[in-house]
Structure 1
């Protein structure tokens, strides 16, 4: 029977490092993880649909992908990552802008910034459903579709390896500048399990610094930190929010934080409680005198870390003027690099 939308995608459990051999059924196969939107594509006679991870219909926002799917010579259901290259990298901001447009605006956006689907799984090929097949067989079927030129641009095959050294290279933060945010780890013997977190995701991470500009909670019991960097005009810009602080870190910071004066650049400012939400975050500005070292993944949009970062320590030996400027990125050694493309 033909698979019909919506389908719950198979999911991954986040880990901080690559698992040991044998952690998943069969030999481990590792894929580079692109920074994009998860999407399942249905392409057969009478149905072309691009489904988001949550099950919504993205077809109208990506007419270039839909047109290519309609021209395929075989009926397929593909799982992959939608991406938009821009200025030398996979650009999440441009992808978001494209996802919001429909009609003539979507056509114009597709012409200006074409999208690609990085395909890492095939759930149905021809009249054969492949969900129960082991991943190694689904991968072989997917590679065959590319080898026979059934799938060509804007479809591209996700890189995969069984070599741990190659996967470790993909975790180098330098790949983050190109839009590769980590590694997906899959068991060669695994079937496709809709809605189950049976894969493993490891994000590339790097250490950097920013100024502590505000806290949630109170100065005597800070719950999270709001971190900033100065732009070229000397204005402190928000770049990240930390994950909840451990008890020991709260106590240590409570002894060092000082209340902000009325001249603080964030006095009266409103920040959202999460990426893409409109809920206001209750925060208290502090004197921007302390530099925090933090660990973050490589997902950065227009100078701001998309995901919460993990506080490591206060860098007492550093002055706030020594942290990278807003919009600068760090190389793997932690030194300021070039500006983010955004």
Structure 2
């Protein structure tokens, strides 16, 4: 089942809210004592996550769950980048990664219970059965029960405090709603925040840049790449062009290769500029371990009134 994005964070009447995790959506079932784990696109993930296979006996047979695969780092923050590369790992490599950065399956919906199809049940009934499943079978890590609430104050707390550890937002589900595959019957709200960053390069025409590559300085003075903007409106691109200065030979990013997107092997053709212009962008809370924004930043406005020294710094040692 899918969700439609909404701009209002308020909990709608007749709905429950669940945290939106920064991980991989996955469907899991245990049938004839065999674990089946697949991505939304149908990719077989079971060989990549031996830590789940080793704990599958905790689950009752003929049971299916919808949920999110996540990894927490040592600081207790969701570490999406630790999931990267798992699709290419099998055997000993997968075992090594499972031991170093164990994944958890955060279950948020129940699709089948001991052979009974539950998708036609209301969300309230499915949720109660899911909670009983965790209680009755005393499920422990790597199995995690996703929180659920009908309390608006709890939703506000999640959006205020939990985003610091990588929570992306919240998902709203109608209490009387059935589970309908491929139907966008849920709502999702992504937490966003406004940030300042320094333009270090751009793609597209010098007369009207298409996207901006953004950075912040480390406290040790190194310009750290933090992410790329979405496509600029034409008027914004033309306005920004007049505020950019082509880079000299000493640009800190000279010789770097930039990826076209998260997990993409395609490289961008970029033009370096002097890191002087500050811009304001809107970003969600998804970060990698080096502090980079995992999703494109939405253009807000140029800030020629600010200097790079006015932009918050990132911690020393962050990757460039």
Same fold? TM cut 0.5: yes
Structure 1 residue 121, shift from structure 2 partner: 0.2
* 1:31-53 deviation line (CA, Å, top 9, x unaligned): 01121111111112153111112
1:98 & 1:128 partners in 2: Cα distance?
32
* 1:48-101 deviation line (CA, Å, top 9, x unaligned): 111112211111111111122234244310111111222122221223254542
From 20, 26, 36, give the equivalent of 1:33.
20
Structure 1 residue 236, shift from structure 2 partner: 2.2
Partner of 2:272: 285
1:278 & 1:74 partners in 2: Cα distance?
40
Partner of 2:148: 160
Alpha-carbon contact 1:171-1:205 (below 8 Å) kept: no
1:170 & 1:181 partners in 2: Cα distance?
10
Partner of 1:122: 110
Further displaced range: 92-101 or 43-52: 92-101
Structure 1 residue 286, shift from structure 2 partner: 1.8
Question: Aligned pair 1:139/2:111, yes or no?
Answer: no
With structure 1 as the length reference, what TM-score do the two structures score? 0.85
Partner of 2:80: 92
Further displaced range: 64-73 or 208-217: 64-73
**Map 1:189-338 → 2, pairs under 5 A:** 189-301=176-288, 302-327=290-315
Alpha-carbon contact 1:291-1:314 (below 8 Å) kept: yes
Alignment length, in residue pairs? 317
Partner of 1:51: 38
Structure 1 residue 297, shift from structure 2 partner: 0.8
Aligned-pair RMSD on alpha carbons? Answer: 2.2
Alpha-carbon contact 2:21-2:169 (below 8 Å) kept: yes
With structure 2 as the length reference, what TM-score do the two structures score? 0.91
* 1:10-42 deviation line (CA, Å, top 9, x unaligned): 1222223326735xxxx1111011211111111
Partner of 1:4: none
Deviant stretches of 4+, over 6 Å:
none
Give structure 2 stretches of 5+ with no counterpart.
none
Structure 1 residue 141, shift from structure 2 partner: 1.1
2:254 & 2:140 partners in 1: Cα distance?
52
Alpha-carbon contact 1:72-1:150 (below 8 Å) kept: no
